[in-house]
Amino acid sequence: MLEVTNLSLHYAQHLALEKVHLSLNQGETVVVLGANGAGKSSMLNVLAGRIAPDKGTEVSFLGSRLVGRKPHEFPEMGIALVPEGRGIFGDLTVAENLSLGAYVKHARAGEAERLGMVYELFPRLAERRSQIARTMSGGEQQMIAIGRALMSQPKLLMLDEPSLGLAPVLVLELFNALEKIKRTGVSLLLVEQNVKVSLNIADRGYLLEGGRVVGVNTAEALKQDPAVQQAFLGLPGAKSILPANDF
């Protein structure tokens, strides 16, 4: 459903992404792995229309071209992004955040049903629906961001390092929720530094290094891949890829 060809991106002189090819099938969960600065976030921001890529980049989603569209058109097309830093409306309540998730026209029908689903997925949000979002913990804010994205009835849900800044217990809880979302048929594109948990829910994975794709394989194969092991799992100096503690 998503086809990315020749995705390149420069910030002034700095090359952030170089000729990235990526594809994602309906219902598939794909994880993009890479260290800090590998270009993961830049890639999602291009795919959500928040940054314009270099000329020559082609992105198509269910047959429509995405490059050049304005960011607010993406949710209407069924692409939802949970950005790094979550991007929730801090001064609004939980319920208001979720209701804005259903701002796009196609999400208005069946809104109540989906709200019930989100509250079932994240019971914490149901308990705190009238609380101001910014007063909640990091993990709860992540739930709001994901819940809000689900309210827009996305076909493709993209998440930028959802585990960042969460305590290990919360990371597991979060990925359990993602697993459930996956089972509802939503395609997931996940960018992560937390290799172990993300490979557990992914079907396929891409390795990104210095803005380039250096490996593509099934999640099972990547788990066994010595290159992945070396780059991300348990080598000295690889400490920084583990999730930081909740602050």
Partner 1 sequence: MLLSALLTGLVLGGTYALIAMGLTLQYGVARIMNLAYGDFMIAAAFGAFVLFTSLGINPLLGMIAVIPAGFALSYAIYGVMLQPLARRAKHSGRLEVDSILATFGLLFVIQGVALVIFGANFVSYSYLAIPINILGTTLAANRVLALVLALALGAGLYYALTHTRWGTAIRAVAVSPQAAPLVGIDVDRVSRFAFALGGALAASGGVVVSMYLTFSATAGVVFTMKALVVVIMGGVGNLLGALAAGLILGIVETLVATYIDTGLTLAATYLIFLAILVFRPSGLFGRRPS
Closest-CA residue to 205 (of 80, 82, 45, 29): 29
Q: How far is the CB of 42 from partner 1 (least distance, A)?
A: 16
50 binds partner 1 (CB under 8 A): yes
Q: How far is the CB of 83 from partner 1 (least distance, A)?
A: 7
Provide the β-strand partners of residue 61.
2, 64
User: Which residue, 68 or 71, is less far from partner 1 as judged by CB?
Assistant: 71
User: Which residue, 81 or 201, is less far from partner 1 as judged by CB?
Assistant: 81
Distance CA(218)–CA(24), nearest Å, equals 12
Strands (E) in the chain, as ranges, are 2-11, 14-24, 29-33, 58-61, 64-65, 79-82, 156-160, 187-192, 204-209, 212-218
Residues 70-129 interacting with partner 1 (rule: CB under 8 A): 70-76, 80-81, 83, 87-92, 96, 99-101, 103-104
The 177-216 contact track toward partner 1, x by CB under 8 A, reads: ----------------------------------------
User: Which residue, 2 or 202, is less far from partner 1 as judged by CB?
Assistant: 2
Q: How far is the CB of 68 from partner 1 (least distance, A)?
A: 15
Sign of torsion over alpha carbons 33, 161, 58, 16: negative
Count Cβ neighbours within 10 Å for each residue of 72-98 and write b for 16 or more, e otherwise: eebbebbbbbbbbebebeeebbbbbbb
229 binds partner 1 (CB under 8 A): no
32 with 205: CB under 8 angstroms?
yes
User: Which residue, 45 or 243, is less far from partner 1 as judged by CB?
Assistant: 45
Binding site for partner 1 (CB under 8 A): 48-50, 70-76, 80-81, 83, 87-92, 96, 99-101, 103-104, 148-149, 152
